Amino acid sequence: MAEKLIVPRSAIAASRYKNSESAFLAGGTEINRLNSYVDAKTLISIGRLGLDTINDAEIDGKPYLRIGATATFTDCIENPKVPEYFKQACHFMSSMVKRNMATVGGNVAIARDDSYLIPTLVASGALVEFSNEKIITVKEYYLRHFRHANKLIVAIYIDPSAKVRSKRYSNTASGHAYVTVAVCEKNVAVQIKGAGLVDTSRLEASSDRSEAFCLEWAEKVKNKNIKSDMFGSESYKRYLAGVTVSMLCKEGAR
Ligand SMILES: Cc1cc2nc3c(=O)[nH]c(=O)nc-3n(C[C@H](O)[C@H](O)[C@H](O)COP(=O)(O)OP(=O)(O)OC[C@H]3O[C@@H](n4cnc5c(N)ncnc54)[C@H](O)[C@@H]3O)c2cc1C
């Protein structure tokens, strides 16, 4: 339970307060959740820093849509500039009440193993910007465990013209996703509950998207955290991952 609330006036000031005992308070849907991953003595409110705008941007000559970190899922769904593939990922959060509060930055920051947005962002080659203006890919953010650093995310950059197809498997619309797959051209992101994003480099190195090849890839993925649990057996999750990659890629080729 937090004991102190700080309301800084700028992103730079907010990041100065951050340490291992504090957390940024964005939408608060994770922080205030029962059994939350976040246990902080001090909360640093970032809701009034003006980080919620959605604008066209350009990086190295390439057009992007810059989504401010405190833009909510609803802000994205209602904004005509936001591409449908990203709106679909926002809709993976089935509760409208939560969508009105939860922020894009908060979702990326915690990078859960059943994340609504990470697979789509990784497959589409999205970028993340910190308060010191450093920009890296969301994939790098995830793989290099930046989420354990005390960095304030100020924006996410998405490719407005990316052709992303994604699918999320859960027992109910509001339940945990046990497998989520997103594909975009040669990029493939596969997230499995317990394991998070699994290694898709062998898939991405090949252009073979036949069911046989994708199933063989899924069977051989080395990850000791893909386990049988209440959501299904290990082999079922591997099977789902393999057939879904193949199916989504074939859909895209049509
Ligand atoms: C019932 C329930 C079920 C949920 N199920 C899922 C689920 O299946 N998948 C899923 O992905 N999420 C789930 N969530 C968590 C949550 O709703 C989302 O992940 C949401 O997007 C988090 O954003 P927020 O703004 O509410 O974050 P907050 O709760 O405000 O913050 C969460 C964490 O992110 C950090 N943070 C927030 N903003 C930033 C920033 N700009 N820069 C750096 N760090 C930041 C904070 O320090 C904190 O540690 C669930 C929540 C509830 C209540």
Q: What is the pLDDT of residues 126-150, one digit of tens each?
A: 999 999 999 999 999 998 877 667 8
Same structural domain, 103 and 149? yes
pLDDT at 194: 94
Q: What is the CATH number of the domain that holds 172?
A: 3.30.390
Residue-wise pLDDT tens digits, 4-51: 999 999 999 999 999 989 999 999 999 999 888 888 999 999 999 999
Assess whether 189 and 237 both reside in one domain. yes
pTM: 0.96
> Which atom of ligand 1 approaches the CA of 70 most closely?
41
Q: Give the closest residue (by CA) to ligand 1 atom 1.
A: 33
- pLDDT tens for 226-248 read 999 999 999 999 999 999 999 99
Phi, psi for 156 (deg, rounded to 5): -120, 140
Our answer on whether the CB atom of 115 is closer than 6 Å to any ligand 1 atom is yes
Task: Determine the structural domain holding residue 233 and report its residue range.
Answer: 164-253
Tell me how far the alpha carbon of residue 139 is from its chain's centroid: 9
d(CA 179, CA 191) in angstroms, rounded, equals: 6
- Whether residue 171 sits in one domain with residue 137: no
Same domain flag for 59 and 154 = yes
Q: Is 22 in the pocket of ligand 1 (CB under 6 A)?
A: no
The helix (run of H) or strand (run of E) holding residue 98 is helix 96-101
Distance (Å, whole) CA 112 – CA 118: 8
To the nearest 10°, report the CA torsion of 184, 190, 196, 197.
-50
Q: Tell me: do 61 and 148 sit in the same domain.
A: yes
Atom of ligand 1 at shortest range from CA of 34 = 53
Q: How many whole angstroms separate alpha carbon 99 and alpha carbon 83?
A: 17
| Token pair belonging to 62 | 């390439």
